[in-house]
Structure 1
């Protein structure tokens, strides 16, 4: 009996020691992993980001892709400490040095949903400073909505600490982002300092409204991975020629005949993938809409959402830098200019030709990169339905079904032929260029 009492006292002493050892701030700490949280907060911020991209002046496709890239990196780095086995991307990305991201206090609790909310709120407030007052209020409202929600899940002390850490990471990545010299790139889409080259086969303005092409220096913007630009200048397009038997002339004739014989379905495809700035969140925004739909359909947790967001954001950003490097290297004339000058001066097309050189196709490069990245994450035969334009009334925005991510990339790319925007080489080689970018993103060591 005496021994039993001693054993019982010893047992309670051990329990008390363990309990007291786990107590922090007068509460029992149960540190959850990032994967224990829902991706709802991220999906809400993506949805708002797409709205802001559409409604904020100056957010051309390259500018939008830059925001997606750096905000995705910030999100990942802010919640990575709650992802056992995952590594920082410090030292792996161009100029992203080790020690950039603030450390966490390993001895206290964080709410990773609140961290993510704080980071993305800070990023959007800084990146969309020139948006409307109403939109700025939406950023504040969304941030506060999740703060209040998360305060029902953890103590005020934990939430305040998490908010502070999210802001620290957000500011660190924002400083890194702005070291590329593009903090106000939305103001420099058509720089007057650029002199348009003149010569046979070179780009000419296709609209009096844009005598200067869009972002002519974007090919020099810092990519996340140098290899995506330095090693991925595509092979030259067919040599410019007005000879009716030349490869170049035949490619122009293909565009001419395709537009002249469009089916109803091809018109729908051309309009579905046009994604014009001001009317939509631009082509990279379309890729982000697809990502958002996949994460929602999968019921993804916060950890998966952060990884996908980071990979796709960096891939799409690098896709536009790599593509723009090619565009201004080759500076190729657009189909509508060549066809008007050499085939039919009355020819019209269903879409407006974008104000920049032709080769390679931006839609094709960024769609190829998106397809490769999402395939690596979700599989080669991942069937999905794209509902991006379901609420539009100016076009047929009916959802479109795809058997794989490559299937969507091929349709997005060929849509530019149907729209009279690109020659075949820019489309096919552009997809290959994008896939190579996606493959390079896959070499980053997240784990």
Structure 2
């Protein structure tokens, strides 16, 4: 289930605000009316590209980090103390430090970054530039022009990321020669990750097995926070986790089913990292952020989810653990379990070799190993940033799941369900446990993922704030 900015706006009783004006212009805003900053408008464009694109979760997180770092560096050129992240970028003199110049520089930086990451979206992105009063084709890097500042900042960051280990020029293809031990049809080692064949005939390979080698923002390497190994396949602790998952799965409430679908963030969505950019937008509206505040928050959130993806994928590749579908089908073949044969099948008794997660048969489990949970790591890292940035853990947001709207089972939930999050930690915890409810993660993958995410959030906060305060 994807989420849209409109659902959050409705929760606030707001409907958005007017576009800001172009370089040198000034927009009129009604008194006491909140106006969304140009930074959040470019966040909207980023989320549109993510929703329509085909990037996996860690690539999505990297894209968020790149775009919002480009915004930050362009903004920092006009701030009195903040330092940009790249060498070769100079602070502009006081006379040039106007909001109009900042907005112009930010727009060119965002446009260049998004055009590089999502070349198929250039037409739409160019239309956004026109709506803001800019000429998308202007590629000057003249330092005393805000257009030049934006283009220059974006180019430096883009060029630096070409060699960050992601292999963007190669379509993010694996650079390590990973070969799976198991095939969609043959399990040679049930403790190891298995490529799956979906009901639609697709059998996607491991998404980004090289991602632990990508250069992080705040850490020395993707392995800097590598956790200890999870419980060994077949060990008493492992079997306890299997039993726990099956017990929860066989007794799912409508609320737990709603949680599993709401947080799924699968294909054609903004994916887990983008989910937290939507939350950042909501916080911006709740707290009536200035442009400066939005730039700083998005810079920190973007790098938090980027680094979270790197450390999570390092653990996934290191331990290469099998997903519940592979483990349960291997451990419980010939034994009776409770499960769902597919959408609208209802809970039923079945042979363990036929067990299915509570997921669409066309995307029955994401194509990468179980330990650790990316959802848990992304969410805990972003929640840590939001908690520190706002100075409080209080969130106060919610999502309403209308009766009968869940995809896996007709007429579910029986009544509307409000998924409320009093705190940022509540939201992150719910995102993590949703993967247990969905039958695609074990307890340790979620728990350790949350721990990793909090550590990532702290590291990004420390480094990011050093740039923001000029101490870097």
Query: What TM-score, normalized to structure 1?
Result: 0.79
Q: Which residue of structure 1 aligns with residue 158 of structure 2?
A: 174
CA distance in structure 2 between the partners assigned to 1:327 and 1:389 by the alignment: 32
Residue 433 (structure 1) aligned with residue 469 (structure 2): no
Does the 8 Å contact 2:71/2:106 carry over to 1? yes
| 1:113-159 Cα shifts (integer Å, max 9, x gaps) | 11111111111111101x3xxx432201111211269xxxxxxxx99
Residue 108 to residue 349, structure 1, CA distance change in 2 (3 Å): closer
In the alignment, which of 197, 209, 225 is matched to residue 207 of structure 1? 197
- Once residues 393 and 186 of structure 1 are traced to their aligned partners in structure 2, the CA distance between those partners, rounded to angstroms, is 40
Larger relative contact order (Cα-Cα within 8 Å, sequence gap ≥ 6): 1
**1:49 equivalent among 22, 46, 49:** 46
Deviation of residue 388 (structure 1)? 10
Q: Secondary structure at the match of 1:271?
A: helix
Conserved 8 A contact 2:213-2:221:
no
Q: What is aligned with 2:355?
A: 347
Q: Which residue, 295, 300, 303 being the options, matches 1:314?
A: 303
Q: How does 1:60-99 map to 2 (within 5 A)?
A: 60-90=56-86, 99=87
- Distance in 1 (CA, whole Å) between partners of 2:322 and 2:424 is 30
Q: Which residue of 2 aligns with 1:250?
A: 240
The one-character-per-residue Cα deviations of 1:159-194 (angstroms, maximum 9, x if unpaired) are 992122111111111111222143636834578943
CA distance in structure 2 between the aligned counterparts of 1:387 and 1:53, rounded to whole angstroms: 21
Q: Measure how far apart 1:263 and its partner are.
A: 0.5
Q: Counterpart of 2:153 in 1: which secondary structure?
A: helix
How many aligned positions are there?
Answer: 386
The structure-2 alpha-carbon separation of the partners of 1:69 and 1:225, relative to structure 1 and needing over 3 Å to count, comes to: same
1:119, 1:169 within 8 Å by CA — same for their partners in 2? yes
Deviates more, 1:426-435 or 1:38-47: 38-47
Aligned counterparts of 2:160 and 2:371: Cα–Cα separation in 1: 30
Query: How far did residue 202 of structure 1 move?
Result: 1.1
Aligned to 2:132: 146
Task: Name the residue aligned to 1:112.
Answer: 102
1:381 CA displacement: 3.1
Structure (1 or 2) with the greater helix fraction: 1
Structure 2: runs of 5 or more not aligned = 1-23, 25-33, 136-141, 182-187, 333-351, 408-412
**RMSD of Structure 2 on Structure 1 (CA):** 2.9
Q: Partner of 2:89 in structure 1?
A: 101
Q: Which runs of 4+ in 1 moved over 6 A?
A: 396-399
Match of 1:34 in 2: none
Higher mean C-alpha displacement, 213-222 vs 398-407? 398-407
Cα 1:230–1:340 change in 2 (3 A) is closer
- 2 CA distance for matches of 1:159 and 1:211? 46
Quick check: 309-318 or 222-231, which moved more? 222-231
* 1:391-447 Cα shifts (integer Å, max 9, x gaps): x96658976321111110000000000000100000011100000000111211021
Distance, in Å, in 2 between the alignment partners of 1:389 and 1:306 is 31
Tell me if structure 2 keeps the 8 A contact 1:190–1:212: no
Q: For residues 374-413 of structure 1, what are the structure 2 equivalents within 5 Å?
A: 374-386=386-398, 400-413=419-432
| 2:355 pairs with 1:327 | no
Distance 2:150 2:46 in 1: 18
User: What do residues 59-84 of structure 1 show as CA deviations (whole Å, max 9, x unaligned)?
Assistant: 11111111101111111110113322
TM-score when normalising by structure 2:
0.75
2:230 aligned residue: 237
